[in-house]
A and B are shown apart, each in its own frame.
Chain A
């Protein structure tokens, strides 16, 4: 069923590492000398109060913003050296859903698949949408979906993206109890298949062997 299981045949262990990260927003130093290291099969939960720099840390890890000092390494190589190879393995979901409101859920999935350079047949996209309870809504413009249903479209994208590293900012927002459970299962599936996950959340999450980083 899942695409990421079939592609987990890489030999070298995947490691995401941050060395001495320092992040400054305006006048404030959010964190200094932050180190972290997660490998295949790990899930890291970044916790902290509002405004403590969780989102900033995730954006540093994706390479969207550059650290004041320090570096982020993917499998031993700085992500600034070869961002395209890194981005091929990376899926980042931020606060905003990044879905185009005028396109249907299916078109959004196909559009991102084309841009992310992953092959996605219509059947596979539909199966992913159906798995997350969007049967019958795949051809509605995303505009008509509720906030929770939009997050479900993103879950379908996570399933089909074939990325090794998931960086998820508040992925449990707007989800109902059933969907929270499904998303946890999806993440567990991903890490047992050798993937890595970094996420932030204010909720209690039940994922085995989860590491916690308090900012």
Chain B
């Protein structure tokens, strides 16, 4: 447990020392979601309709921006080898890195969502649903993304390859995340969407740390 906290602390400290890299992803999210209302104009009904999709797609893409940082820097300076040789289970360390990634790239999106939502004329009820879906969904994005980040370690042009591997895997999260907000806006029951998002999160938590740590071990061999 101490090791888990140590790795989270380490990764967050590194992020604090190089803020620009993190701010890029968050800024990207804010800018892209702001461009849509500006481009489409003041058609409130249309904006309300596209809001869930636009916000969720932007969230996927901005998560993707920060993913390459998860293992690549540690891989290049040899720190990943040192982590593999530390007397800690690799699964724990990889999980720590995912949590740190989520705190940096996922949590800000959840907190920013209500402000972004106002641009799309969402009512307060929809904003709560949007935040709740992001809260459940963005950890899944970080978890799934770690597989791509680990598999493309040391591969030339890995960034593009990673997007190709990861984006299809994001589809279920996108469907149920955006779907819940839409269903709520037309007065349908959203509990099914939330159950499925929760199930995705539990499944991802149960399996992905093992998958990613195996991929990391292969990469450093």
What residues make up the interface of A, taking CB atoms closer than 8 Å to B? 62-66, 84-85, 87-88, 90, 92, 94-103, 107, 111-112, 114-117, 141
Q: How far is the CA of A103 from the CA of B74 in the complex (A)?
A: 13
Q: How far is the CA of A21 from the CA of B77 in the complex (A)?
A: 28
Interface size on B, residues (CB 8 A): 26
B3 within 8 A of A: yes
12 A-B residue pairs with CB within 8 Å: A64-B220, A92-B81, A94-B81, A95-B78, A98-B81, A102-B18, A107-B13, A115-B82, A115-B83, A115-B93, A117-B3, A117-B88
- Decide: A111 and B10 in contact? CB cutoff 8 A: yes
CB distance from B44 to the nearest CB of A (A): 45
- Decide: A84 and B88 in contact? CB cutoff 8 A: yes
8 smallest A-B Cβ distances: which pairs?
Answer: A96-B78, A114-B6, A102-B17, A98-B78, A88-B87, A87-B87, A115-B86, A98-B82
| Per-residue interface assignment for chain B, residues 66 to 84, with 1 indicating a CB less than 8 Å from any chain A CB and 0 otherwise | 0000000000111101111
* Chain B residue at minimal CB-CB distance from A115: B86
Q: Which A residues are CB-close (under 8 A) to B78?
A: 94-98
- Decide: A64 and B17 in contact? CB cutoff 8 A: no
Q: How far is the CA of A213 from the CA of B197 in the complex (A)?
A: 58
Assess A85 versus B87: contact at CB under 8 Å? Given A64-B221, A95-B78, A96-B78.
Answer: yes
Q: Which B residues are CB-close (under 8 A) to A85?
A: 87
- Decide: A114 and B2 in contact? CB cutoff 8 A: yes
Q: Which B residues are CB-close (under 8 A) to A63?
A: 85
Q: How far is the CA of A87 from the CA of B84 in the complex (A)?
A: 9
B206 within 8 A of A: no
Q: Which A residues are CB-close (under 8 A) to B7?
A: 115
- Residue among A85, A107, A116 having the largest count of chain B Cβ atoms under 10 Å: A116
- Decide: B85 and A117 in contact? CB cutoff 8 A: no
B14 within 8 A of A: yes
- Decide: A100 and B88 in contact? CB cutoff 8 A: no
Q: Mark out the residues of chain B between 185 and 221 whose CB falls within 8 Å of any chain A CB in the assembled complex.
A: 220-221
Q: Which B residues are CB-close (under 8 A) to A88?
A: 87
Q: How far is the CA of A85 from the CA of B79 in the complex (A)?
A: 20
One of B10, B18, B221 near A65 (C-beta < 8 A): B221
- Residue among A64, A90, A98 having the largest count of chain B Cβ atoms under 10 Å: A98
- Residue among A95, A96, A99, A103 having the largest count of chain B Cβ atoms under 10 Å: A96
Q: How far is the CA of A110 from the CA of B85 in the complex (A)?
A: 17
Q: Which A residues are CB-close (under 8 A) to B172?
A: none
B89 within 8 A of A: yes
Q: How far is the CA of A96 from the CA of B75 in the complex (A)?
A: 10
Q: Which B residues are CB-close (under 8 A) to A141?
A: 17
Q: Which A residues are CB-close (under 8 A) to B93?
A: 115
- Residue among A66, A112, A115 having the largest count of chain B Cβ atoms under 10 Å: A115
| Per-residue interface assignment for chain B, residues 7 to 34, with 1 indicating a CB less than 8 Å from any chain A CB and 0 otherwise | 1011001100110000000000000000
Q: How far is the CA of A63 from the CA of B220 in the complex (A)?
A: 11
CB distance from A62 to the nearest CB of B (A): 6
Q: Which B residues are CB-close (under 8 A) to A107?
A: 13
- Residue among B78, B85, B220 having the largest count of chain A Cβ atoms under 10 Å: B85
CB distance from A128 to the nearest CB of B (A): 17
Q: Which A residues are CB-close (under 8 A) to B18?
A: 102
Q: Mark out the residues of chain B between 81 and 109 whose CB falls within 8 Å of any chain A CB in the assembled complex.
A: 81-89, 93
Q: How far is the CA of A117 from the CA of B89 in the complex (A)?
A: 12
CB distance from B82 to the nearest CB of A (A): 5
CB distance from A17 to the nearest CB of B (A): 19
